[in-house]
Amino acid sequence: DGPGEQRTFLEENVLQSTKMANFLRWCVSGHTLELGKPVDSLDQLHAQAFMVHNLFLDLVVEIANDCNAKFRLKKAVTGHVSNLEVASWDGSEESRAHFELGGIKSIHSASRKATVVFGGDVSMLLDMVRETLYFDTVADLAGCLEQLQSHPLLEVVKVKSTFNVATTNGRLGSSGWAGMRFVSVNVRLVACPEARELCVDLHICELLLVLTDIGRVQTDAMKQRYRKWRIVRKDFPHAPLALCVLGCGVGVGGCFKWLASMLDFGKAKSLCNGAAHARGRHTSINSVMSSDKSGSLGHTLDEAGSKRESRDLEENSLAISAPPGIALQSPQLLHVRTGGGGSDLDRSIHTRRESQKLSAAPQVAFIPEESQPAAQVTSWGVSVCGDMLELLQGLCHMSVLGLFDFVDKRWELVVDYSRADKSSFSSILFSQNPVSAACHRWQFQIMALMVGCFYAYMGFQGIKAREVLMGEYSFGPYKHYRLETMLTRNGSERADVWGPGVSDFGVLGLSRCAPTLPVEQPSFSGPVGSSFVVSFPEGRSMTGWYLRSGAVNGSEPQDPKYFDVWATNDDIALGDGSCALARADGRWWERGDTTDWCGGRWVQVGSPKWGFMGFMRDGKAWDFRKIGIELPLDRGLLQTFILRPAPEEFDYAHIYNNFAGTMAGVFTVVAGVVSNHFPGVPPPPLVLGFHVGVRMLLMTSGAFVAIRMGQIHLVLEYFTKAVPDFFIVAMCLRQGPWVRQGLAAIVVVSFVGSIMLSLYSHSVVVLPSGIGMAFFGLSLLFLRALAIRRSKRLVREDQARYDRLYTSLVQAEDSKVEIEHLGKVVQMIGLDEKNNCQQYNHLLVSMLPPRQRTQHYRNSSTQIPVNPLFLDLDRVFIPGRTDPDSKVTSINQLYASAAISFKLMCPLIKAWAEKSDGMFKLRNRGGVSSDASSSESEPVFVKWNDVKGDADKMQQIVFPTLKRFGRAVEKLLRSYGHDPSKLLDICRHCIIFATVSDLTRALGSIITDENVRVERLKNRLSPDHSSDETAGYRDVCLNLRVVNEAALSLGVDTHMCEVQLILLDFAKLRTSEGHKRYVEARNQLGV
């Protein structure tokens, strides 16, 4: 902005960006811009066509009069049903009703063509604006082409001719036009000042040149067959042309060759293909065509019409497209041409060129009535004043330039990456996108890196453990091995066990098979007390062990249900066997990894069930579980126990699983950091969820391998460890407030799983995920408590001042009575302050039952004016009716509606203030709003009745701006669950009152005003209101909709606005420093 230059209402409230505002000014001022990417939005393309059509039609009329060209007459005028009749037209409105003009391509037709013919590429639609000229002679047609190439306002970008196309075996050489002979010329209005000012000089229009004799051949039935044939040709390119070929004129074929030789056309090319070109550049047709004269005219020009040659003819100056529906505001605002020619849509777009100029938009400060331009009537019958006209024109400029979805695009990035949330770290659990918010916080990133490092350490430990577990031998060499029975089948344990309960015991070698005859004869083998001892003089390594159940019938009750296998290299002294008596202290599962027995120090090398530590501890990787087994009842049956894990099971559950956790932590941090600078990076929650999901699948795979191996205890362990990962994946994919419950579920499942596994295995089983999540959750809760305490401390003084003021009001007799009366009025109004108001779309007529729909159309002539463009879009709405099943999902739509509603509410706010002695805030002497000043000077308020006749003071009145994008995004992230329909205060106004009585009168005026409909009312001046909810601040807040004829006609009657009725004493206490403290406290709480 230049020195002293004020920003317009559109720039200040809708764009909210200096860079975008400067760009819009640059475009509107008619500067030359380079071409950008092809237009990728049909809404933007249609908006451009809507703006440029009138200018193009005026040029076509001018060229037609110079070249003896004619326009097609309506059948109602000629009285003929099938024959084509043409006549000259001077462009006058009086005779326009007699002609059938091309106009703007309908949305339905454009959408179908883009989908069927161009595969969804809307930039290939070069005929959104089209007109047709008819010529009696070929010479006139050729003269028109020459004038087009030399016209100072036009740039020819593509020419296609179907004259003199060669035939092959009696069939047409080119089937794209099914025999119809014509010349189509695509042009831009690059040198037209009005087109530049409207930012549509890059839009390509189509002019079709047809000989009258050929045009008379074509009938309505042929047109219908041709439309169907185009679809068939697209889907079935080799379908016989005889099914849908159109007839051609007789006796005119001889002129085609003459026309080709006279114009000397060569191969056509698109000027725009493959390069960006500046606006305003003129190029002659000869420079587009090749000088090769050997090929036929039809063949060479048909190549120019191929899809590859005309790829990017519709260019855009920005890479942003308009959202659906934004082109509904008619850019051609002033009603001038009122003739009956053409469709209603065609008639609605005609306007004077001077009315299309964008004048200076209104300032944020109020403009008095006497300084407003006179009200004008749009082409569909709506009366708008100058500032509203300029606002609508500005919105249309944004639509033409593809700027009208920029807020939605920002919001999409915020939803993916949560980069706009500045709340405290402790509030992430209470936000609407907690996982995304956490992934972008440095505190969480440090924790994630620590977790990743931990899992990396565990992964490398698993590799080392695997080398041990997969070695040749599991233990040894040892001289002595013994099996000690701790629990029998009949429940005897420890001191009640009198023998080992087995008839044989030994260790396995590399063959892992129980030998029928020992390879190395043990020096001793036999039962000793409750143990069975095997000794080898030279020592022996083991890969497992074997045992035989008791050989004597009736010994089944003494079969071991749980036993320990021990080994030692110490010399033992059995003596009389008293040292081998069963231990009497403790339960059967209460033992350590080592024990003293008969003079030796024994280490545990086996038990009936075992697992894997996943890491090395004192050189060991085995985890022997205290889980009983049931031996077969057959006597003397051999049982082997091989100490060797399934390789895939160990890899899945203890190596790959840990490295997946490492990648989850590291890649989440990388995505969180990089995505701040490169939006193409996958969202951090998706990265985290993917890698944790891989970890969960690996753990589940290990469980299935354990099922195959019959290790049920490992199956339970692996599945219990996989459940927390499942919750993490669910939290990443579907965020929301329930993430808090998800964290709690992880902690509960982990702890309950640990307890159940510990009870089952009679040992301590720890699930790290539960401990980690419990620590994380408790840390956040502790930080949350600190944040709440800090937020209360920040606003404590301000809240105390507000509370003292309210206490003084309640204690004063007059104001107390007024507050009680206000409460009675609010109660009598009967609006629930907890009413769940939301922003809804209009109810479509198509949603009505058939009978009501018919009745609506029958009575439509008596309803408010409706832009015919809605009819073309098949989006006919019922005025004043909302659709509760259709919430507003576009933030851009909300801001466009809010901007229009703001302008409509200004006179209403003024009227309410006039009736109740309401006041407004004045700018300070420096020209800055007093609420934006950094000083603590007391703001100045004036009554509207005192200044409404003073133009200078009226210019100093400050109205609130639309809600800032940043705060709207914060509310969506923190409180509204990403639902834009809950934003009810984008358009907001406030009125200040000296007394509660004046405020009550204003409330009555608003409630009884037929121009608005109040939906919700919050009385914060009530003694029942808790001051903690608003940090002591109090007012009366209304949510309402403007429902007068202007709002209904402009389509904003469903938009919810906010009006605050504030007492003067409370308004004076609102300072900039106090607001800063409130914002900081709000960020601490994350609301």
Backbone CA torsion sign across 486, 491, 493, 496: negative
DSSP one-letter code for 82: S
CB 365 within 8 A of CB 957: yes
pLDDT of residue 129: 93
Residue 328, pLDDT score: 31
Q: Which residues make beta-bridge pairs with 97?
A: none
Record the tokens describing residue 710, joined without a space: 């019959």
Alpha carbons 932 and 928: distance in angstroms, whole number: 7
Report whether 1020 contacts 1066 (CB < 8 A). Answer: no
Instruction: Of 939, 1083, 892, 1067, give the one whose Cα is nearest residue 995.
Output: 1067
Beta strands at 638-642 and 840-844: parallel, antiparallel or unpaired? unpaired
pLDDT in tens, 727-779: 999 988 888 777 888 888 888 888 888 888 888 888 777 777 767 777 777 77
CA distances from 322 to 611, 877, 916 (A): 61, 21, 43
List Cα–Cα distances, 277 to 39, 198, 316, 626, in angstroms: 15, 19, 11, 80
Using only the alpha carbons of the chain, give its radius of gyration.
42
Tell me how far apart the alpha carbons of residues 610 and 644 are, in angstroms, rounded to a whole number.
10
Nearby residues of 1 by Cβ (< 8 Å), 6 or more positions away:
7, 18, 21, 22
Contacts of 586 (CB under 8 A, 6+ apart): 494
Contacts of 448 (CB under 8 A, 6+ apart): 439, 664, 665, 666, 668, 669
- Kindly report the number of other CB atoms within 10 A of residue 196's CB atom: 22
Residues of the chain with pLDDT under 50: 1-5, 167-176, 237-371, 418, 420, 926-935
Q: How far apart are CA 664 and CA 742, in angstroms?
A: 18
pLDDT of residue 380: 66
pLDDT digits (tens, 9 = 90+) for 24-82: 877 777 666 566 778 888 888 988 898 899 899 999 999 999 999 999 998 766 555 55
Q: In this structure, are residues 1012 and 908 in contact, taking their beta carbons and an 8 Å threshold?
A: yes
Average model confidence (pLDDT) across the chain: 77
Q: Which residues contact 468 (CB under 8 A, 6 or more apart)?
A: 616, 619, 620, 621
DSSP letter at 492 equals -
- Helix H or strand E segment including 72: strand 71-72
**pLDDT reported for residue 38:** 85
For 352, the token pair is 């004077």
**Predicted pLDDT at 240:** 40
Q: Is the dihedral of CA 17, 23, 25, 28 positive or negative?
A: negative
